[in-house]
Amino acid sequence: MFLDLYDEKTLPPPADWESSFEGKPRAYREDYRFVADRYELDEMRRIMAHYFALISHVDDQIGRVFRTLDGLGLKENTLVAFISDHGEMLGEHGLLTKRYMYEGSVRVPCLLWWPGRLPSGKTVREPFAGVDLAPTLLELAGVPALEPMHGRSFAAAAQGGAGPAANEVVAEVCAIRGERELGKEALAATAMLRRERWKLIRHREYGDELYDLETDPGERANLAAGPDGPPAYVALRRRLADLLRRQGPGPYDWAASNAGW
């Protein structure tokens, strides 16, 4: 039924479907999840249609939750948070599945619903991390946050005010490819820092990537170019190293040992 909502023949192709990865780590094209060289575009559109149908199914089930809360008279006293653990490349840059630090994979929705308590249609544009959800919900519920606690509260932003200034999002994932062969150390092979308009991606084996998401939301132009790169590149490398050192870098010592770079 939900699949009938989407005509695969009319779906636009994924963004940057035929990516050459010029200026980026070649490991992307060598990964088995790079499918643009194996799948026809019609096959990719069929996958997209089925994925969109699954999303519509989830939407329908969430609607059942809302209708049940309404029927029980609980909606005004219930705060609902909807968030995902990861996204899906779905053909962007010719890639499938997750495990990448590109927006299609790492950027996920977070929706808050509380009729009468939170404004409808409010969009918070500051970077928001999964660790920010707990302090946000606690403050909205009037419960003191534990100390110390990772993450920052966005309660004021959700209520129509401003979010935390210069909020940061840190993420990590295993190697782009070869994690089955490289051993457990490959589970700490990539780290990301998102701050304001900039995103830094550090790979233990494949070099760095830097994107200006304001001018390049499709993440096509890698601006990382060594110590002589943009000021944001040097600043973000130092900031990521500092954050890792403060929290105990563990297997990420490779990314935390160059703060003076």
Pair (119, 171) in one structural domain: no
What's at 235, amino acid-wise?
A: A
DSSP category for residue 148: S
Distance CA(231)–CA(225), nearest Å, equals 11
Pair (41, 108) in one structural domain: yes
User: Residue 161: its pLDDT value, please?
Assistant: 87
Pair (4, 117) in one structural domain: yes
- Residues 205-224 have pLDDT tens digits of 888 999 999 999 999 999 99
Distances, alpha carbon 62 to alpha carbons 23, 24, 56, 67, 141, in Å: 42, 39, 10, 9, 21
**Distance from chain centroid for Cα 209:** 15
Pair (29, 103) in one structural domain: yes
Structural domain that includes position 47? 1-123
**pLDDT mean across residues, the chain:** 90
- Residues 131-158 have pLDDT tens digits of 999 999 999 999 988 888 888 999 999 9
Q: Count how many residues are written for the chain.
A: 261
Q: Contact at 8 Å (CB) between 141 and 77?
A: no
Average the pLDDT over 34-54 and give the result: 96
Give the pair of three-digit tokens for residue 34: 């790079």
Name the domain boundary from 70, 99, 123: 123
- Residues 99-134 have pLDDT tens digits of 899 999 999 989 999 998 999 988 998 889 999 999
What's at 98, amino acid-wise?
A: K
Distance CA(41)–CA(15), nearest Å, equals 12
Domain count, the chain: 2
Alpha-carbon dihedral sign for residues 123, 127, 130, 132:
negative
Judged against a pLDDT cut of 80, whether residue 229 lies above it is answered with no
Pair (100, 175) in one structural domain: no
Pair (51, 105) in one structural domain: yes
Pair (119, 173) in one structural domain: no
Domain CATH for 177? 3.30.1120.10
User: Residue 188: its pLDDT value, please?
Assistant: 83
Distances, alpha carbon 190 to alpha carbons 74, 115, 159, 205, 227, in Å: 43, 40, 35, 9, 20
Q: How confident is the model at residue 27 (pLDDT cuts 50, 70, 90)?
A: confident
Pair (62, 10) in one structural domain: yes
Asked whether residue 145 is assigned to any structural domain, the reply reads no
Site of tokens 């509380």: 114
Percent of the chain with pLDDT over 90: 64
Which pTM value belongs to this model? 0.90
**Among 212, 200, 9, 225, which Cα is nearest to 106's?**
200
Pair (251, 173) in one structural domain: yes
Output the CA torsion 27→29→32→36 (10° steps): 160
Distance CA(88)–CA(91), nearest Å, equals 9
Pair (1, 117) in one structural domain: yes
Asked whether residue 252 is assigned to any structural domain, the reply reads yes
